[in-house]
A and B are shown apart, each in its own frame.
Chain A
């Protein structure tokens, strides 16, 4: 079983839709959970950062961690064409482990 699993998509939604992106993991020792956003031909940029379980909200973005299920989610409300990118989940105890990324396309 891979340490971090992420559906690669692609995921296509209309503008204004609610988007749900997810990752599962196997290592119960992970404590730090992140979402990175990567636009085409650019490096990833940190979008959301959470420690341990719970929710964190930042504008249209909500990160959710369920350590009992070993499952993390990123919700995007009122999605915009500018949200079109690849979203990478990442988690760590010490070294950072990345998911392979989900490609999202939001059409206007």
Chain B
């Protein structure tokens, strides 16, 4: 069964902290994505990656960075967390051939106080 695993279900951090959100997929997918989901705003793409060490900005990259050192792992970094980054963060992956079919993790609910 396909699996996208996010390291934490719930996180509470303080303003100004550096935050790492980790995502691992076991499907050998080339593409990996980070979204945030907020009530009334839906899913918004932060960053995506089509290959190891490769990254592309999505719709809302400000305040975030990413790292993809290995094919199966895609990390989202909040350099200095702010309260407006309180959100549900969702990682997803897809294969190169079927990049419309995303497989999502269960999400990380991040609260920044």
B100 touches A43 (CB 8 A): no
B107 touches A41 (CB 8 A): yes
B45: A residues at CB distance < 8 A:
95
**C-alpha spacing A44/B4, complex, angstroms:** 12
Total interface residues on A, CB under 8 Å, equals 21
Q: Which of B11-19, B36-44, B65-73 contacts A (4 or more CB under 8 A)?
A: B36-44
B104 touches A34 (CB 8 A): no
What is the 8 Å Cβ interface bit string for chain A, positions 87-108, against chain B (1 contact, 0 not)? 0101010111011110000000
In which size bucket is the chain B interface? 10 to 19
B106 touches A98 (CB 8 A): no
B100 touches A100 (CB 8 A): no
A88: B residues at CB distance < 8 A:
42-43
User: Any chain A CB within 8 A of the CB of B102?
Assistant: yes
A46 touches B107 (CB 8 A): no
A44 touches B41 (CB 8 A): no
Chain B residues 80 to 113 lying within 8 A of chain A, measured CB to CB, are 90, 92, 99-107, 109
B104: A residues at CB distance < 8 A:
36, 43-45
A96 touches B102 (CB 8 A): yes
**C-alpha spacing A49/B98, complex, angstroms:** 11
A99 touches B42 (CB 8 A): yes
B4: A residues at CB distance < 8 A:
43
Which B residues lie at the A interface, using CB under 8 A? Answer: 4, 40-43, 45, 90, 92, 99-107, 109
Additional A-B contacts beyond A34-B100, A42-B107 (7; CB < 8 A): A43-B4, A43-B105, A43-B106, A90-B100, A92-B100, A94-B99, A98-B42
- Interface pairs (22), CB distance under 8 Å: A8-B40, A36-B104, A41-B107, A42-B106, A43-B4, A43-B90, A43-B105, A43-B106, A43-B107, A44-B90, A44-B104, A46-B102, A49-B100, A88-B42, A94-B99, A96-B99, A96-B102, A98-B42, A99-B42, A100-B41, A100-B42, A101-B42
